[in-house]
């Protein structure tokens, strides 16, 4: 998982690439959308504003075709992250949902207002606790431009 401290840092690090620019476009458009409803920009990104406690089933979630990007507007929460290879598959990957469910343990990381978390595809995550947060949740295709630090 990559954690950036601000939207300004995200804009600086990921200034190249259409999908990363679309992330910024989505974040800057949140005042114009309805919370809890998925919206799209082009064919590479869907996003929504989520408000409340992040839903969890206690299991780790992994993706393959999309990165999850969370931009925290208000509040804080903890997320547990682990390499998929260190976890045990509970529900096999399903192409229709781009999800696999895993069990095990990992590193707990605190995320808070202003930060951006990018969940990489070689890792799985689960949210802990019951703190309400307001955040932008983006699903960004892995195709085209990849992470600059990889």
Joined together, the tokens standing for residue 65 give 């075709």
**pLDDT of the residue at 149:** 41
pLDDT (tens digit per residue) in 26-39: 999 999 998 889 99
Average confidence (pLDDT) per 10 residues, the chain, 150 residues = 95 85 92 90 88 90 94 96 96 94 96 96 92 94 57
Extended beta strands in 75-131, E state: 76-83, 88-94, 99-103, 107-112, 116-119, 123-128
The answer to whether 23 touches 141, Cβ cutoff 8 Å, is: no
pLDDT at position 144: 60
**Is the pTM of the predicted complex or chain greater than 0.95?**
no
């Amino acid at each position: 998982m990559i954690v950036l401290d601000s939207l300004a840092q995200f804009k600086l690090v990921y200034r190249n690439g259409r999908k990363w620019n679309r992330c910024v476009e989505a974040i800057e458009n949140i005042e114009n959308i309805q919370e809890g409803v998925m919206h799209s920009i082009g064919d590479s990104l869907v996003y929504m504003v989520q408000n409340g406690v992040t839903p969890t089933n206690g299991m780790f979630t992994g993706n393959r075709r999309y990165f999850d990007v969370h931009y925290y507007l208000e509040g804080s929460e903890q997320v547990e992250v682990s390499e998929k290879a260190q976890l045990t598959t509970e529900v096999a990957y399903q192409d229709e949902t781009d999800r696999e469910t895993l069990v095990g343990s990992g590193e707990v990381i605190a995320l808070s207002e202003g930060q951006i978390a990018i969940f990489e595809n070689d890792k799985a995550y689960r949210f802990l606790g019951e703190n309400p947060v307001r955040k932008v949740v983006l699903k960004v295709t892995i195709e085209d431009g990849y992470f600059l630090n990889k």
